[in-house]
Amino acid sequence: MSDLTEGFAAAFRLLFGFDADLWEIIILSLEVNLAAVVLSCLIGLPLGGALAVYRFRGRKAVIVLVNALMGLPPVVVGLVVYLMLSRSGPLGALNILFTPGAMAIAQAILVTPIVTALTRQIVESLWHDYREQLTSLGSSRRRAIPTLLWDGRTAVLTAILAGFGRAAAEVGAVIIVGGNIAHHTRTMTTAIALETGRGNLALALGLGIVLVTLAIVLNAAAWMVRERSTPEAALTGAKL
């Protein structure tokens, strides 16, 4: 019990004393998460849109596969990316193992299926409603994808936030490809995983508080986005 209270006290001292080590970790984590999410959106938004509007042989199998990939175990992704990027691996020449770049790539692999699968659902339901109207206006399927993504922007944003949440929470992938190197590849989750064992409870707890706060903020943001996207909200917005 005293461990816990002392830990919390120390954690708050670190946080609000703007301890350099702690904030370095927080900022690096957010940078890696953000890079991973941007990368995932570059792939997942057009891919999800394409899966929604195009019909081709094997489409259902691809959708099932993408949905299944949402549950990829982070350690396995970490392992595979490690093997790809290690010196003897096929991408070893890039020499980016144990860098934030490698961590962003590993997390992007975890987040891309989430963004792709959720975007596919959102756009497909819009396409069902809009197909005849857009076709009548001369819009090709390809041209319809950005239109539909923009029309579903609030739902798409919640999908992106879900992906961000996944990146922020995972530890298995970044610890393998990043290595938890101090001042270089140490993120909130890897620090908690390893510093706890070394008795550095204040740092671990401080980071834990930040992570939980981040999760709450992300979910609150997603909730507010959904609230605002209802037709009633659009109506009130118009009257304001």
Contact positions with other proteins (CB under 8 A) in 118-157? 129-130, 132-133, 135-139, 143, 147, 150-153
Residue among 126 and 168 whose Cβ is closer to other proteins: 126
Q: Does the protein bind other proteins through residue 240 (CB under 8 A)?
A: no
Pattern 212-231, binding to other proteins, x per CB under 8 A?
A: -------------------x
Q: What's the min distance (Å) between Cβ of 129 and other proteins?
A: 6
Q: Which amino acid is at 207?
A: L
Q: What's the min distance (Å) between Cβ of 68 and other proteins?
A: 31
Rounded Cα distance between 61 and 123, Å, is: 18
- Tell me how many degrees the CA angle 66-68-72 measures, rounded to the nearest 5: 105
Are the C-beta atoms of residues 220 and 25 closer than 8 Å to each other? no
Q: What's the min distance (Å) between Cβ of 46 and other proteins?
A: 19
Whose tokens are 């940078």? That residue is 31
DSSP state of 94: G
Which two tokens mark 194?
Answer: 């390893």
Q: What is the four-CA torsion angle of 35, 221, 17, 5, rounded to 10 degrees? A: -110
Rounded Cα distance between 189 and 169, Å, is: 7
Rounded Cα distance between 28 and 176, Å, is: 16
Only segment of 2-10, 179-187, 193-201, 232-240 that touches other proteins (CB under 8 A): 232-240
Are the C-beta atoms of residues 224 and 154 closer than 8 Å to each other? no
Pattern 66-105, binding to other proteins, x per CB under 8 A?
A: ----------------------------------------
Task: Kindly state the number of chain residues that form the binding site for other proteins, as judged by CB under 8 A.
Answer: 20
Q: What's the min distance (Å) between Cβ of 1 and other proteins?
A: 53
At residue 208, the 3 state secondary structure works out as helix
Q: What's the min distance (Å) between Cβ of 124 and other proteins?
A: 16
By CB under 8 A, name the binding residues for other proteins: 129-130, 132-133, 135-139, 143, 147, 150-153, 231, 234-235, 237-238
